[in-house]
Amino acid sequence: MSERLLVLVRHGQSEWNLKNLFTGWKDPDLTELGATEAKEAGRKLKAQGLTFDVAFTSVLQRAQHTLDLILTELGQDGLKTYKDQALNERDYGDLSGLNKDDARKKWGEEQVHVWRRSYDVPPPGGESLKDTLARALPYYVQEILPGVLRGERTLVAAHGNSLRALIMVLEKLSPEGILKRELATGVPIIYRLNADSTVASKLDLAS
């Protein structure tokens, strides 16, 4: 039986990360630093001797571009890849495109903090983390996990909040625990799973 390998990578720095804007489902590309982070992620995975059988990403270009740069570093351009909005970043609704400091001035520091850091309170017109999990988790269970358990080495390039959904299940975190979990841009997390889908080992490739 080949290993049950799952690697998660948050996209590299985006243009709106740099500008301190709420991004959500808006579609800015990577910055020069973000592209460098993605390439470095590919080099780190290559140094681990890893290759992949399949990849998953969102429909947003910053995640897709990250995946493309990683696969180029691995010499795996053209790998079978599935793109789905279930893996999109959390939708920030009316906050999307706003500078985070401007949002605090408009709604107040405390309210913006609640929207960003509570589990089940959505911003106006947007999604809570709980809402994001409600679309990302079924996709993981139905589309990603079965292949991993069959031994397909799987790479997922997505977003901070959609990946939190997967990590919440993999690491058995509570709603409070997942809120505190920060994901650095462009840093691969390597999971090897047991046959029952629990985590056998985890390796975070933060430099």
40, 73, 89, 127: which is the annotated catalytic residue? 89
Q: Is residue 15 part of a domain?
A: yes
Mean pLDDT calculated for residue range 15-38: 96
- pLDDT tens digits, residue range 68-96? 999 999 999 999 999 999 999 999 999 99
Helix ranges (DSSP H) in 21-81: 32-47, 61-73
- Note the pTM of the prediction, 2 decimals: 0.95
Residue of 170, 177, 186 whose CA lies nearest to 38: 186
Please say if 65 is a catalytic residue: no
Q: Is residue 40 part of a domain?
A: yes
What CATH number is attached to the domain comprising 198?
Answer: 3.40.50.1240
Domain count, the chain: 1
Amino acid at 84: D
Residue-range definition of the domain harbouring residue 190: 5-49+62-204
Please say if 11 is a catalytic residue: yes
Q: What is the pLDDT of residue 182?
A: 87
Residue of 194, 162, 168 whose CA lies nearest to 181: 168
Q: Is residue 56 part of a domain?
A: no
Query: Beta strand 154-158 with 81-83: parallel, antiparallel or unpaired?
Result: unpaired
> How confident is residue 153, by pLDDT bands cut at 50, 70 and 90?
very high
11, 37, 40, 159: which is the annotated catalytic residue? 11
Mean pLDDT calculated for residue range 160-188: 92
